[in-house]
Every structure is written in C-alpha cells, then in structure tokens.
Structure 1
Amino acid sequence: MNFYDYEAEDAGFEILDFPCNQFGNQAPGTTEEIASFCDAKFGITFKLFSKIEVNGENTHPLYKYLKEQKGFGGFDPNHPLTPLLESGLYRTQPDCRNTPDIKWNFTKFLIDRDGNVVERFEPTTF
C-alpha cells in the first residue's frame, strides 16, 4: 500500500485507512494496537483513523455516504480469492449481490476533491 501512497501523494491524493473488525475478526485490537502492528509490519505512512463499523446499524456516516454513492459491483472474476469470497458470502448472505454493503476488508473508494465518489474497488481489484 505504501507504493501507492507515494505515487498518490505526488499526484495530490491521500490514502486514508479506517480499520474495521466486521470481517473475520481481522482487526481485533484497539486502534492503537492496529496502528502499532501496521507500522511495525508494513511501515505505513498513510493516515490511520479510529476503528469503525462499515455495515449494519452502527455504520459510520462516511461509509453510509460512500455506499450510497457506489454500490457493490461484484468481485473481479479473474482474482484467485473471488471463488472463496463468493462461496462464503453467498452462502451466508444470499442477497449480498444486491446490497451496497462492504463485503470484505480492503474495499477502497476513490473520492475527488469535491467529495464525489469516483469509483469503488473491491478487495479483489488488482
């Protein structure tokens, strides 16, 4: 992710990270523990915010907006993780293709300087 951070910074972009523990218990620690882990393991330089919820009753307002602007467009059929994600999600949430919910960690949004959502990238985006 840092490779993109440097390129993005040169182009006037910023990468913002909002940890979430709603997907397979992948972010169980406190925000401080997550920041420490990410810094030690990956040397992150982008902004890391407090842990939030991106789906459900306690969805953070930012993610309500993002999902309203760009719904789920499907996983990349050529990505090796797609069959695994689809089989798990579609089995437990048969209607998930038709909801704007975030399906898994590392879903990304490209937002322009005016706050418009330009694109949504699922975790299977190369």
Structure 2
Amino acid sequence: MNPVTRLRENPRRAAIAVGYAFVVLVASVVPTPPGSLTPMGPLGLVGLDKWVHAVGYAGLGFTVGAAVRARGRKEVVRAVVVVAAFGTGIELVQAVLPYRSFGVADVGANLLGAVVGGALWVAVAWVAEPRR
C-alpha cells in the first residue's frame, strides 16, 4: 500500500505530523534573541542549537513514520528522506531571512534527528506488533 493511501486511512496521524511540521517551520523562521542557543549542549560536543535541531527532527521523523505506518526499510528511508528534505528546505528559507542563517551543521543535525526518529518509530512499531 502506498504512503499517500496510508495517510488517508490515518487522518489523525497525518494531522499530527503536519501540525508538528508546521510548529517546526514556525519555530525555524521567527526571530530568536541573539546568543540564545550558543552555549555548548550536553556532552560539550556541539552547541545547544544542534541538539534542538536533532531533537526536533527526531520528533518529526517519528511522527511522519507513524503517519505513513512505515514498516519496511524502504518506507522508513522514504520517511526519513522526506523529513530531511523538509529540514534542508527550511535551512534554505533561513538563508534569505536577515535575522536567521543557513548552516550545513544544522542540515546535518536535522538529518541525524530524522534518522533517530525513524529508528525510534521502527522500534515502537516492532514492539507494538502482535506476535503470532
């Protein structure tokens, strides 16, 4: 069954995914106070903003996976690619906003988050699957 058909069969899940994507979009284009997310994040590896990107896109990857009820590897990869493309598109929009900026590291954090969210969806779907 194709993903669009699955979205039509699960309008509530689709609405949750679209709503979450809208929240991510709005949060990505509104002005932020200068220096609000520049401190180092957990583990001191990258800035807090990269963690916010990764966590936000993990949630989006999970909700999109759930909306299309991704089961197989190809379906999960498609969901992750859609979420990563959405994140890249938002970064391109930010490039033209005077109060935001484009960042390759942000794109990477979005992709990593989408992959983690897709993997979480697979784990939840596997656990919730009835055993025969």
Q: Is the TM value for this pair above 0.5? A: no
TM-score by length of structure 1 reads 0.28
TM-score by length of structure 2 reads 0.28
The answer to which structure, 1 or 2, has the higher relative contact order (CA under 8 A, 6+ apart) is: 2
Greater strand proportion? 1
